[in-house]
Amino acid sequence: HRELVVLVAYGPLLDDEEVAEIHAVRFDQVFTIRGGNGTAFNEPVGFSSEEALARIVARLAQQAGDPMQPGESVIERRLQRAAIVAVAPPSAANHIVSIRKRRRIEVMPEDRG
């Protein structure tokens, strides 16, 4: 399964500099907020199942250096360039995932001291 190897829907969105936030309200519904205007976009991507989204949440937690613990249903982790918050069953009916990316700050040569 490709979802076991890559971050599927999240991979390209995490790499896209225009995407500020990524939200999955269900495994097959992914929304993004692009730029600074706060407008949500329904993305034409998703995951194949609830289990696939759960595996991605576990993989992101692992990448953050803090693997999910048994029974953990509210997951908060900091990734290299983003923060993830996920709510998993039984705290929610299905996985709900929110990723807020940090903005890259361009440093101009004259700004360096």
pLDDT of residue 105: 57
pLDDT of residue 3: 41
Q: What angle do CA 78, 89, 87 make, to 5 degrees?
A: 25
pTM of full prediction above 0.85: no
pLDDT of residue 109: 56
Among the listed residues 77, 22, 100, the one whose alpha carbon sits nearest the alpha carbon of residue 8: 22
pLDDT means per 10 residues in the chain (113 residues)? 54 86 92 84 88 90 92 92 92 93 63 50
Question: Are the beta carbons of 97 and 23 closer than 8 angstroms?
Answer: yes
